[in-house]
Amino acid sequence: MKKRTLGKSNLEVSAIGLGCMGMSFGFGPPRDVKEMTEVLRAAVEKGVTFFDTAEVYGPYINEELVGEALEPFKGKVAIATKFGFYKRPEDEGRWGGLNSRPEHIKAVADASLKRLRVDSIDLFYQHRVDPDVPIEEVAGAVKELIEAGKVKHFGLSEASAETIRKAHAVQPVTALQSEYSLWYRRPEAQILPTLEELGIGFVPYSPLGRGFLTGKIDETTKFDATDIRNMLPRFASEARKANQTVIELLNRIAERYEATPAQVALAWLLAQKPWIVPIPGTTKLHRLEENIEAANLELRQEDLDEIQNAADKLNIQGERYPEQMEKMSYR
């Protein structure tokens, strides 16, 4: 597996990481722990050194899964996790609003360290920007955690360019994690230029459009009742039907390389900047192998140009999130 460095930091990771959320949360019931442990350890054996989790995935069970599965590889892999939400006692303990108060950040770090079975968190992201806490205070709290040796690198997620700059001035930001793929390209306008200027790495989540860019989802696909895609406008049946045009584009390019649509989608992301590290998620070994192989797919410039030109003309149907969820982004 090829390696990449996130921005100007010294955090070197595999060119493709593994998003672990779906193993425990979001896309149906939690998967079998033994099977997911096998997938996680197979990823390491195949060269993946970058794993992404969060306390809210479950909650807690995803961090616990990742911590136990990767404990034998302590020091050989980088695990990223996140802070920034809180549980609502008045709502039967469900995860509610945002909380990035410094004391809460520090408490989350201590709890995550135990669940992940590590001495220091490799990359600690603010999961979403908290409008009630100045980002300078958030960055200051993480700076103290870094000085204490509990955290190695500071990250942000779905933050605006202005917020990134303010945070970076207090504690250098190693990476931004935001959604980015051929069917969600908003980061290209302001975020990517800001990251390049400041020397910050970029970690696209949902680089395969929550599975859509694999080409295996159409308007007839049925999701589990607990699958978050049921509530996403872009996954409404009529939107899925209209958005097959992006799959047609990926298929056209994939045929030239004897590759899959997913591999082309990931290779396209890797070709955008040398400091981009996508984190596709999967619960299946064969999908893991397919995604990893994308790191070896180098698209020719003429094919990248064709993808760019075609993508610019695509009219992707449906918002990526419901309005309330979208409001939590780009603050």
Are residues 175 and 7 in contact, defined by beta-carbon separation less than 8 angstroms?
A: yes
- Burial classification of residue 165, based on how many CB atoms lie within 10 Å of its CB (0-12 exposed, 13-18 middle, 19 or more buried): middle
Quick one: which H or E segment has residue 36?
Answer: helix 33-45
d(CA 317, CA 235): 9
Are residues 120 and 148 in contact, defined by beta-carbon separation less than 8 angstroms?
A: no
Quick one: which H or E segment has residue 52?
Answer: strand 50-52
Are residues 181 and 208 in contact, defined by beta-carbon separation less than 8 angstroms?
A: yes
Are residues 193 and 272 in contact, defined by beta-carbon separation less than 8 angstroms?
A: no
What DSSP string describes 188-202?
GTTHHHHHHHHT-EE
Are residues 191 and 176 in contact, defined by beta-carbon separation less than 8 angstroms?
A: yes
Of 57, 125, 180, 205, the active-site residue reads: 57
Q: Is 57 a catalytic residue?
A: yes
Type of residue at 326 = E
d(CA 216, CA 229): 14
Residues that are catalytic = 57
